[in-house]
Amino acid sequence: MSPVDLKAIRHILIMNKEGGEPLLNLPYQEMITDPALIAALFRAVMDFLGRGLRQIIWENKRYIFEGGEFVIVVMGLGRVEDVSEYQKMLKTILREFEEKHEKKTLNMGDMRPFKEDALLIIRQFPMTAINYDYTPIAIQGKEFNWQVGILDEKIEQLMKFVNGKRSVRQILKSISMSENDVIGILSILKKYEWVKFKRPIRDDDILVRNKRIGEVLITAPELIESFDGKRTFREIKESVPYEPSVTIYLTSKLIESGTLRFIDA
């Protein structure tokens, strides 16, 4: 679990310290794209860095940042009580980026080599929270422009384990990839709708029928009627004329079809 509030992160940029060009620009809650705004933000950050400061309020928004030898890492941040953990993780991103690249690389004008470094950021700050007990299911997703290099290779590797049967926890036990990489990449895939997540059904869960339901291909009226929003799943399993494994399977399909929903969802 991330030690920070991911919902408070608005965006993260890695910028060339000399010219202010954004080498990476990752949207979390929003994206800053206006070149004039980016240039103004860069000037403000550089001014405060020169004074030994590491956060500013700019355009009524809060930014924290860390400067290295040739790049700066900037985070747009919502309201949080303590930024120390965020700053610590920004320093890690900064160190790893500068260890990987040489200063001269930044002046070559080609930004493609830096796109895969989104991985350095999402290792520290996943784009969304991921529940380890949920099961990812592959769906048709949206494009994002930093799907390149080693990041693209890791996405391809991870998607081979996304079969709608393994939970995140089970994937972590099976794949030869670090936990931070798996969670970070899953957070990208969730944000860009490459995967959706199926919640496990537990004995103490309470489910209820939706008022408007889609096409139901399961003929099990006594099971469907049992979900009254009051009884636990354990009680329902004990009351219907099916084996527990069959009840779990049918209930899972009814949830997927939109017939049922968790009472706390």
CA angle, 120 as apex, 117 and 124 as ends, to 5°?
150
Distance set, CA 232 to CA 71, 195, 264 (Å):
55, 28, 12
> Does residue 107 carry a pLDDT above 70?
no
* Alpha helices (H) along 51-126: 84-100, 112-115, 118-124
- Position 214 scores a pLDDT of 59
Distance set, CA 184 to CA 111, 146, 231 (Å):
22, 14, 37
Higher pLDDT, 210 or 94: 94
**240/34 Cα distance (integer angstroms):** 59
- Position 9 scores a pLDDT of 97
> Does residue 84 carry a pLDDT above 90?
yes
- Position 139 scores a pLDDT of 92
Q: pLDDT-derived band of residue 145, with 50, 70 and 90 as boundaries? A: confident
**136/15 Cα distance (integer angstroms):** 33
Q: What percent of the chain has pLDDT over 70?
A: 93
Closest CA to 122 of 161, 142, 83, 96: 96
**70/17 Cα distance (integer angstroms):** 5
Per the CB < 8 A criterion, the answer to whether 14 and 73 are in contact is yes
Higher pLDDT, 248 or 103: 248
Give me the domains of the chain, ranges plus CATH numbers. 6-124 (3.30.450.60), 135-198 (1.10.10), 206-262 (no CATH)
